[in-house]
Amino acid sequence: MTGLLETTAERRARRNRQPASDERPAWMGRQPRWATAARGGLLTVACLAVIVPFVAVVMTSLAPQRDISARGGLVLFTSEPSLAAYRAVLSGGVVTRALSVSVAVTAVGTVLSLACTIMLAYALSRPGSLLHKPILLMTLFTLLFNPGMIPMYLIVKQLGLIDNLAALILPVVVNAFNVIVMRSFFLELPSELTESAKIDGAGELRILTFIVLPLSKAVVAVVGLFYAVAYWNAFFSALLYLPSPEKWPLQLVLRTFVVNQTPLGTDELSASTESLPPQASIQMAILVMSVIPILIIYPFIQKHFSKGLLIGAVKG
C-alpha cells in the first residue's frame, strides 16, 4: 500500500513539475526584449511595405490633377477625393468590356476546371480504376515537362481557337498540381464510407456527389481559388491568342494602358473630353479594379485554405 501511495505521489509531482528553463525547447524559452522589439520592427516594416503602395494606388485613383502634380504622381492623402476616374472607366468603354470578359472567363473557366479536376482526381484515387497507373504517370509527367509556347500556339491554331475566348480556358482547363492535391485529399477519406455506400447499391457518381464532395469542401475551395486567380490574372495567353482588342480581358488592358503607359482617350472611355479625369487616376482605378475581386472572394474561403492544403499532404 505504501508503495502504491508513493507511486501515486510521484506521478502527481511529475505531472505538476514545471520543466527547467534549460530543458525547454528554444522556441518556448523567454526571448530577450531586444529580440522581441526586432521582430516587431521587421513585421511593421513588412506590413508598411505592403500597405503603403496599395494605399497610394487607391488614393491616386481618387485624387485630382492638382494633388497628383504636386506629389509627383503618387498620392498618399487627398483632401478632395473623387470617383470621376471610376465613373470614366465604367462608362461603357474598353475597360467595362474587358471587365465583363474577365468575369465571364473566370467564372466559366473555374467551374469547368473544378469539374474536370474533381472527376480526374476521384478516378485516380480509386484503386483498380481503368488505366489508373498510365493516366497518373501522364499527369505527373506534365509537372516535369512543359509543352512550350510554340507547340501550344500551333495546337490552339489547328483547333481554330485563335481570336476565340475558349482559347483562354481549354488549353489550361486542368492543372496537374491541383489534381495531385485533390487526389491526396480523396485518398485520406475513410474507405469504409465508400464501401458501405457500394453495399447499399450506390454507384461511383452517387458516391462522389453525396459522400466525397460534401467531405471535401476545404480542398474544393482552395483549388477553386487557385483556378480563379489563374484565370483572372492571365494576360499572356490573351496576348497570344486574341488579336481583337474588343475581346481582351482586364489584365491585358491593364498591361497595355498602365504598364506600357498608353494614354486612354475619349474613344476608349466613351467619355467627353471636358469630364476626362487625369491619366494617372484612370490608370490607378483600372489597377484597383483588377485587385478588388480577389480581395472580396478570399476572406470567404480563407478558413478552408490551410486545411485544404495540409490535409492529404501529410500522413500520420
Phi (first) and psi of residue 78, to 5 degrees: -135, 140
Residue of higher predicted confidence among 18 and 32: 32
**Mean pLDDT over all residues of the chain?**
82
Range with the lowest mean pLDDT among 10-14, 30-34, 185-189? 10-14
pLDDT one-digit tens code per residue, 188-204: 888 888 888 888 888 88
- 119, three cell numbers: 472527376
pLDDT at 294 over 80: yes
pTM of the predicted model, to two decimals? 0.78
How many angstroms from the chain centroid is the CA of residue 258? 22
What is the rounded CA–CA span in Å between residue 163 and residue 254? 19
How many angstroms from the chain centroid is the CA of residue 163? 26
Map residue 314 onto helix, strand or coil. Answer: strand
The DSSP string of 94-154 is HHHHHHHHHHHHHHHHHHHHHHHHHHHHHHHHSTT-TTHHHHHHHHHHHHH----HHHHHH
Q: Determine the pLDDT at residue 256.
A: 82
How would residue 311 be classed by pLDDT, with cut points 50, 70 and 90?
low
How would residue 95 be classed by pLDDT, with cut points 50, 70 and 90?
confident
Q: Determine the pLDDT at residue 127.
A: 80
| Chosen CATH of 87-310 out of 3.40.50.2000, 3.30.300.30, 1.10.3720.10, 3.30.559.30 | 1.10.3720.10
How would residue 316 be classed by pLDDT, with cut points 50, 70 and 90?
very low
pLDDT at 269 over 90: no
Q: What would the mean pLDDT of 49-70 be, rounded to a whole number?
A: 87
Q: Determine the pLDDT at residue 167.
A: 92
Q: Where are the domains of the chain?
A: 30-82, 87-310
Q: Is the four-CA dihedral 213, 214, 215, 218 of positive or negative sign?
A: positive
Residue of higher predicted confidence among 243 and 132: 243
Q: Are 221 and 301 in contact (CB under 8 A)?
A: yes
Question: Assign residue 201 a region: left if phi > 0, alpha if psi is -120 to 50, beta otherwise?
Answer: left
Q: What would the mean pLDDT of 280-285 be, rounded to a whole number?
A: 86
